Amino acid sequence: MLGPADVRELAAALGVRPTKQRGQNFVIDANTVRRIVRTADVRPEDVVVEVGPGLGSLTLALLEAADRVTAVEIDEVLAAALPATVAARLPERAERFALVHRDALRVTELPGPPPTALVANLPYNVAVPVLLHMLETFPSIERTLVMVQSEVADRLAAAPGSKVYGVPSVKANWYAEVKRAGAIGRSVFWPAPNVDSGLVSLVRRESPPVTTATRKQVFAVVDAAFAQRRKTLRAALAGWAGSAAAAEEALRAAGVSPQARGEALTVEEFARIAEARG
C-alpha cells in the first residue's frame, strides 16, 4: 500500500505533477483503496483491468487480491515507473502484473487471459467514454467498480424519470445493472479535487435487451432523444427518423407515446423504437 508520504515521495522522484488535463488525482489513503477492492468484490481468480493506475496505490491492493492485474496508463512517466514500483513493493506478485502504455479509449486487446473485472479511479474528464468503451470492447468483464465524479456517478446510476437520467444512464444500462456503491470524500486524494467522488458498481447483464436492432442502432435513438431533451420524442426523433411523422409511426409501433420524453424511457423501450424503424 502507498501512504501519503509514499505517494508524494514517488511523485517527487519521478518529477510528476498531477495535471488537470489528464484528470489526475492520486488516492493517498490506504483505507479508501482497501474499501474499493472490497466493494469491487475482487476474487482470487479474477483477472482485473485497471485504467489510470497513476502511481500504483490501487494497483498494489488489486494485485494482492486478484489472480492478475493489467493496468492501462496513458502517461509516459507513470507507465514507465509502475512496473518498478510493483517489483519493489510486491515482488512475489510482479509476474502477475502487466502494463499497457496506451490511451484506454484506443485499447482493443489486452495481454494474458481475458479480464473478468474492471476496477478504476477514472480520470474525471473521460470517465463515461472510457467506461463504455471498455464494456463494449471486453465482454468478458463481468463486474466493474469505478470511482468517478459524484455527479457522473448519479447520472450513470439514474433510473428513468430522474432529472439526471440521460445518455450515460441508458448506455451503461444496456450492458449492466448499475448502482451507486458509496461516496468518497475529497481529502483522500492528492491533489484534493474541488468535487466529490462516488463509486459506481456495474454487474454485466447475462445478455443485452432482446431486440433485432443492433447496439449501434439503439444508441443512435438514445443520442437523438437526449440531444433535445426538452422536446417530445416525436420532435426529438424527427431528424433520426426522417420526419416527425415517421418518428411518430416508429414510436406508436414500439408502444411508446409520441408525447413522451427521453428521460421517461427504459433501455428496452429505446430498443423497441430502434427495432420499429428497422
Give the model's pLDDT for residue 166. Answer: 97
Q: How is 138-178 classified by DSSP, letter by letter?
A: -TT--EEEEEEEHHHHHHHHPPTT-TT-SHHHHHHHHHEEE
Give the model's pLDDT for residue 8. Answer: 65
Cα angle value 25/26/27 (rounded, 5°): 120
User: Is the distance from CB of 243 to CB of 217 less than 8 angstroms?
Assistant: no
Spatial CA neighbour of 13 closest among 71, 97, 74, 88: 88
Give the model's pLDDT for residue 24. Answer: 62
Owner of C-alpha cell 493517498:
28
Task: Give me the tens of pLDDT residue by residue for the chain, a chain 278 residues long.
Answer: 676 666 667 767 777 766 555 556 778 788 999 999 999 999 999 999 999 998 899 999 999 999 999 999 999 999 999 999 999 999 999 999 999 999 999 999 999 999 999 999 998 889 999 999 999 999 999 999 999 999 999 999 999 999 999 999 999 999 999 999 999 999 888 777 788 999 999 999 998 888 999 999 999 999 999 998 889 999 999 999 999 999 999 999 999 999 999 999 999 999 999 999 86
HSE-up (13 A, CA, CB side) for residue 10: 26
For residues 36 and 263, what is the distance between their CA atoms, to the nearest angstrom? 31
